[in-house]
Amino acid sequence: MLDGTPESQFEESTTGSDAAGAEALTVEQAIANLAHPDTSLRYYAAWWLGKFRVSDPAAVEALMAALSDESDRTELGGYPLRRNAARALGKLGDRRAVPGLTACLSCEDFYVRESAAQSLGMLGDPSCIPALVSLLEGGVAAAVKIPGRPHLAQPYESVLEALGALGATDAVELIRPFAEHPLQRVQYSAVRALYQLTENPAYGDRLVAALQSNDINLRRVALSDLGAVGYLPAADAIATAATENSFKLFSLKGLLEYAVRQSPATLSADAIKVMTLMDSML
Amino acid sequence: MSISLATLIADIDQADSPERLIAAVQALATARLEAGIPTLIRALGFNNPGAAVTAVKGLVQMGDAAVMPLLTLLDDYNYGARAYAIRALAAIADPRALDVLLSAAETDFAPSVRRAAIKGVGHLHWLKLPDSEQTIAQSRTYSTLLRVFQDADWSLRYAAIAGLQALGQSAPALQPHILADLGGFQDADVAVQARIAWAIATLQSPQPVPHSFPHPHPLTS
């Protein structure tokens, strides 16, 4: 049922109150539930551990084991528990999960590959770069829609974004053609990665231009990308983009974090400028 | 060339497309008629974001005259309309809205509305209250903002710092307390921590930064 809906930070922040009993679980119960006979309880427990960032080593180990679960299958042969376990492991910051997540990149379930790529991008361990690169095999020519499914052959957006986050500079030439992929979302992911890997402002400016897209969803994606790379020259364009304030606030937060990393000891003019804009989005 | 209130309202009620509705609400807002306020408030509940944002701007321009109608016509059963009304009240900053804004700041289910209310309460024009009520109103606001700062959502904590800074500027008696609180806050979130540092710097600067908070057009966030 989750097919094709990558959870955004906004959905995630509301899911907790919708899910009955979210507060009732304890860490011990959630870990134990990962082995519960009821697959829906397992699925929920994996989500819960990620949501509440339970980085307890026992939780990490149980989630790592769930990456090779065989019992919970969808009609189409998907692995729901593996998907949730892979997503959760990205949030727990334990690099012991990297080999298991890397193996998930060759899982037959697209959404397991997608979740694993996202989490690997978050964990910051470059050892998975060759496996991520191998998903780009065939280049843009192979990056086409799978007949009858709502997705492409590979989770290109997540793979490209992970390569950017992991500093995979050797992959720049492989990534570059994806900036011209027919799908704009894929283009943005490539451009975002290329900006991170080259710091060439031409890529940042392309994301800024995307804020003028006619499609509000693409404008939101561009906001998220600009926030992820912390492209400071985009601040004013973000503040005036035609989307909801909450999206702009979250995007500007990424810029502020970047500005603070640039000068951690002082309040820089950049940081104050971004906060002034953020205040106006409250 | 003056168009009557009845005509303006009729245009709203007879609009047969979202665009015409927005244009009709805009016309009523531009007319700045006090008697048109209840209709602008009604437009908050049309489930048309463009019309609602236009009506909010119109209500904010009407200022204090819109406060009592907004408070009495607040729709407890339509949360969409209520969110717009809260945004309008926060932007007008009349302290008669204190109870409603404090309640929205703490308990509204929509984070975007809470953020607007949290920042808004710090900016209220306290001098419009009788002397005897000012201190009580400010200290209630202060406690609410401190409670909000305990929230798990970074954006609410960020808004609480903006609200506390504004309260420190609008209520000088509280400023030393607020500065002491801010100095003791530690936030794991980099953005919130930066906002704390900026709030301290602003409150400590000998010539306080003039209120650089032109009320933004409340959007449908």
pLDDT in tens, B175-202: 999 999 999 999 999 999 999 999 999 9
Q: Structure pTM?
A: 0.84
Q: Where are the alpha helices (DSSP H) in A52-109?
A: 57-66, 80-92, 98-104
Alpha-carbon gap, residue B102 to B120, rounded angstroms: 9
Q: What does residue A73 show for φ and ψ, rounded to 5 degrees? A: -130, 145
**Contact state of A244 with B112 under an 8 Å Cβ cutoff:** yes
pLDDT at B143 over 90: yes
**Contact state of B112 with A247 under an 8 Å Cβ cutoff:** no
Q: How many contacts does A have with B, using Cβ atoms within 8 A?
A: 62
> Which chain B positions have a beta carbon within 8 Å of A259's beta carbon?
194
Residues A190 and A158: beta-carbon distance below 8 Å: no
Q: Which of A2, A27, A172, A140 lies closest to A81, judged by CA? A: A2
> Which chain A positions have a beta carbon within 8 Å of B108's beta carbon?
none
Alpha-carbon gap, residue A266 to A272, rounded angstroms: 11
Alpha-carbon gap, residue A178 to B60, rounded angstroms: 47
**Contact state of B190 with A256 under an 8 Å Cβ cutoff:** yes
Using DSSP's 3-state secondary structure scheme, residue B61 falls into helix
Q: Which residue of B has its CA nearest to A275?
A: B195
Residue A67 is which amino acid?
A: L
Residues A161 and A121: beta-carbon distance below 8 Å: yes
pLDDT at A233 over 70: yes
> Which chain A positions have a beta carbon within 8 Å of B160's beta carbon?
none
Question: Of A223, A252, A257, A279, which to mutate for an interface test with B (greatest number of B Cβ within 10 Å)?
Answer: A279
pLDDT for A71:
87
User: What percentage of chain A reaches a pLDDT higher than 90?
Assistant: 85
pLDDT tens by residue, A2-42: 333 333 333 334 333 444 445 578 999 999 999 999 999 99
Higher pLDDT, A60 or A76: A60
pLDDT at B217 over 80: no
pLDDT for B206:
65
* Residue A76 pLDDT level (bands cut at 50, 70, 90): confident
| Mean pLDDT, rounded, of chain B | 90
**Contact state of B221 with A245 under an 8 Å Cβ cutoff:** yes
Rounded alpha-carbon distances, angstroms, from residue A111 to A103, A106, B47: 14, 11, 36
Q: For chain A, how long is the longest CA-to-CA vector?
A: 56
Residues A119 and A96: beta-carbon distance below 8 Å: no
DSSP A98-142: HHHHHHHTT-S-HHHHHHHHHHHHHHT-GGGHHHHHHTTTTHHHH
Alpha-carbon B41 to chain mean position: 15
* Residue B2 pLDDT level (bands cut at 50, 70, 90): low
Q: Which of B164, B114, B173 lies closest to B143, judged by CA? A: B164
Of B154, B193, B213, the CB nearest to A279: B213
Question: Of B190, B192, B193, B200, which to mutate for an interface test with A (greatest number of A Cβ within 10 Å)?
Answer: B190
Return the exposure string of B156-172: e unless at least 16 CB atoms fall within 10 Å of the residue's CB, then b. Answer: bbbbbbbbbbbbbbbbe
pLDDT for A19:
44
